[in-house]
Structure 1
Amino acid sequence: MKRENNYEVVISGVGGLFPKCENIEVFMQKLLNNENLMSSRWKADQTGATTNVIGAIPHAEHFDASYFGIHREQCKFMDPMQRMVLERCYEAITDAGVNPVDIKGRKIGVYTGSTVGENDNVFYESIVSGFGLTVLQAAFETVGTGQSEAAIVVTTNLALNWEVSLHYNSLGLLSPDGITKPFDANGKY
């Protein structure tokens, strides 16, 4: 990115976990092949949702707690989003060609935007407020002004319970036919 104040920020590493895709390379290939990444999970008429499809994340329950220095008992109480964020941060750091050990003690900003976990009842505003762009802008500013020498930007959304789909549906965020159309002229979803 380049701005009027003439500083540049380079995005040098990425990580990601997407429906039916364990990494960014698989995600890109499936997008290029126009594959449907949605899965059926429950009967829509039983839940009150307009659709029964979700973007199922592969192996959401897997986590190498010992690698991250987290006791396995503590892991039982961690939000699954927290575990996935740790894994994706590691993935992005190594994708940038950096050894994670080498960032210890450096001025690295970590900017996280996520929907509120499912254990919380207030997540409506975070869904529609564009938290991903907000944290990217914050990281851009701090790196560009020298407050941080680098930044890790994370956005996350994980909905494991069907009730979350009801909330998304009530906000008008779900496509009635279960097909996401973010770049389609007729798509508002």
Structure 2
Amino acid sequence: MARRDTEISKAMSHALRHAPDSYGLTLGADGSVPLNTLVDGLRGAGVEVDPDDVRRVVVQSDKQRFALEGDRIRAQYGHSTEERIVKRAITPQPVLWHATSPEAAAAILRDGLLPMGRQYAHLTTDRDLALQAGRRKSAHPVLLRVDAASASAAGIEFVEGHDRVTLALTVPAAYIGAVPH
């Protein structure tokens, strides 16, 4: 992604995931806002952007952070706003992955996977994507395997993120184990 598009993507993430009020935005229950309202909010914050720029960032994002549906846009995951974003419950893939620092992994294996500063804990169907995310926390992340099938059967709710990201309010430690990578 070009440097300008990376800057636009970061501003979009901040506006749609963390600080909508700072951009004059009010998120819908699903976390969406009208595309033109987002563009106006970003411009008001000093970001040079137009609707075509936003559409390009959505399409070219390898992490699929955003969804554009009709004239509305939303972040698909990663929210830290106080108002919980409503997500559709799903039956997860049988095995999900999460990678993090050795220190955080020790806490997860003891206490379970928690959302921390986000609304949901993030898991992925893609082992390599988990390791990529984990490398942001540590040069040598610990790869955690989540028995999502058993957790779901026990009543743990999983919700949609996108095709490679699955979200949960929490996953108890009993369903999580460290694996070599």
Common fold, TM-score beyond 0.5?
no
Which structure has more strand as a fraction of its residues? 2
State the TM-score, normalized to the length of structure 2: 0.30
State the TM-score, normalized to the length of structure 1: 0.29
